Structure 1
């Protein structure tokens, strides 16, 4: 892992299993680590494929802004080339993020071997302003059932974690604050989830963000070139 990234300077808070395979670890990232991730995300946001509002197949536009690393996501597939944006190849997925994803699984599942076979190859980075939301959906465009690793920086959000059958109840609302880790895999890998609310003004500027929320989700696509 790149020497500048050390994700265990501060101890995480008590972990909570929200559902089988779904674990919330508050405060996993310290402020220094959050600032470094913000810097990395800012660099990716300007290119080679810039951050954008994603257009949906029926013409709607998502209220979150997205930039991708490793593979480019558009509804509802992955490609190496961002044909819907500028025709460029996306930034490579860095080795330090692979290591970060593995360590996240070790922390979430409290198992030293949990990350041994985990090699994420893409990250979707979403930026939420105070009004942005994300409807209930499944992360199912991947060809792999490996866990999703989610990191939050900036404003607190309400993260709605539902069920595998549909977008309706039952669900559990979880407050995800800056520095929090959330992992969902196993029986919860294809749970419907969303973000119905951002809490503006809860961001600590020491993170490097003056406002809004960054959410970084690492996945294993299961795809080959």
Structure 2
């Protein structure tokens, strides 16, 4: 009841990890959802991710900019239809930098700006679709060659987002309720923290969105130059 009566507060979950409720208004959520539906269509569309041990992830995924597979990046959907990965649009990079500025401050966002000589900046999106039975185990986003903050945007059903520590998949961790339109950014000391999604609450998406399930749009800086070389 309190969550309905009073606005949810912006919260620093850990050093460098900030939850900003209701960051995307309804109109921006619809625009992002429409884009996600386009990206999910084949070729290089929504796929089931298979792990090296032969298992499958319950959340399905589509990538932009570079294709993620366990545990690396490629220019084509090497574990799917083999098509070239869809391009990462400039407006998503701008959205990511604005998110970092709002969550962590403009100075942090400046460090993630494009280097115009090396063509660096936010250049990867991993978009995960969760139905009511989908989960995501505790993991770290450690396949990038950059320590720029990770930007996470939620659309649709509410979930429990478990944000842990950098040393272990187990406690201590904090469970955060992420609703449609919420922003979560983690960088700095929390950039390599373990995190996961142990639960999705079915039928909690805003009715006006017209989405069944949950979409998570995760934006990252790869740290690779346009020619594929690693920086640093």
- Taking structure 2 as the reference length, the TM-score comes to 0.89
Higher share of residues assigned strand: 1
State the alpha-carbon separation in 2 of the partners of residues 182 and 122 from structure 1. Answer: 16
Report how far residue 13 of structure 1 moved: 5.5
Q: Which residue of 108, 111, 135 corresponds with 1:114? A: 108
- Whether contact under 8 Å (1:71, 1:122) holds in the other structure is yes
2:84 alignment partner, SS class? coil
Residue aligning to 2:10: 15
User: What RMSD in Å do the two structures reach over aligned CA positions?
Assistant: 1.2
State the alpha-carbon separation in 2 of the partners of residues 90 and 56 from structure 1. Answer: 19
Report how far residue 29 of structure 1 moved: 0.3
Over 2 Å off, 4+ runs: 111-114
1:121 alignment partner, SS class? strand
Q: How many residues align?
A: 212
Residue aligning to 2:218: 217
Structure 1, unaligned runs of 5 or more: 1-11
Structure 2, unaligned runs of 5 or more: 1-6, 113-120
State the alpha-carbon separation in 1 of the partners of residues 35 and 97 from structure 2. Answer: 19
- Whether contact under 8 Å (2:59, 2:136) holds in the other structure is yes
State the alpha-carbon separation in 2 of the partners of residues 69 and 152 from structure 1. Answer: 17
- Taking structure 1 as the reference length, the TM-score comes to 0.91
Per-residue CA shift, 1:171-222, capped at 9, x if unaligned?
000000000000000000000000000000111131231x100000000111
Q: Which residue of 196, 207, 222 corresponds with 1:194? A: 196
- Whether contact under 8 Å (1:38, 1:208) holds in the other structure is no
